[in-house]
């Protein structure tokens, strides 16, 4: 069973899904969120009370009062994706890391594209801070949703682009 909710933020509406074990999905797009839910084959119920802590931490993040999330995750990943997300979780607020840096840190220095694929498939953006990943040449790189959204998130963290 997934418990879903939405919240309005300074960057727009966010869609949240969690299970009894933890946060499973954050999305900025209603169609993508619906497709994700349909693809899980689980029942779901709209219940804001189950996502209050995630919503509180997100609000604190957007207000500049939270630098590191303390949220249990219940995400389905491959071992490779998990290793990428573990590295991302260690990237400090307001700092950037390249796809190559991540590849090197997981002992797969030639796997930059695979790292990019894992970053693109991150089911819980912001919490696992995929917006902090840039190209090794210093350019902003991509983002699974919208590049302007990535820029907004980086500006919230004080990153000058």
State yes or no: is 112 an active-site residue.
Answer: no
Phi and psi at residue 94, to the nearest 5°: 80, 0
Reference 29, options 44, 7, 14; nearest CA is: 14
Cα–Cα distance measured from residue 122 to residue 89, given in angstroms and rounded to the nearest whole number: 12
Start-to-end C-alpha separation, the chain: 41
Q: Which of 16, 106, 124, 130 is catalytic?
A: 130
Residue 90 burial (CB count, 10 A): 11
Just list the catalytic residues: 130
């Amino acid at each position: 069973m997934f418990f879903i909710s939405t919240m309005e933020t300074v960057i727009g509406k966010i869609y949240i899904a969690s299970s009894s074990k933890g946060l499973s999905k954050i999305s900025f797009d209603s169609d993508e969120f619906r497709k994700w839910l349909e693809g899980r084959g689980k029942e779901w119920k709209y219940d804001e009370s189950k996502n209050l802590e995630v919503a509180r931490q997100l609000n604190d993040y957007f207000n500049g009062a939270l630098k590191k999330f303390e949220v249990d995750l219940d995400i389905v990943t491959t071992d490779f994706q998990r290793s990428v997300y573990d590295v991302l979780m260690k990237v400090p607020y307001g700092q950037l890391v390249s796809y190559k840096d991540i590849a090197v840190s997981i002992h797969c220095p030639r796997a930059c594209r695979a790292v990019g694929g894992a970053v693109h498939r991150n089911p819980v953006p912001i919490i696992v801070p995929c917006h902090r990943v840039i190209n090794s040449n210093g350019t902003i790189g991509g983002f699974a949703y919208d590049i302007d959204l990535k820029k907004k998130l980086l500006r919230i963290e004080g990153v000058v682009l």
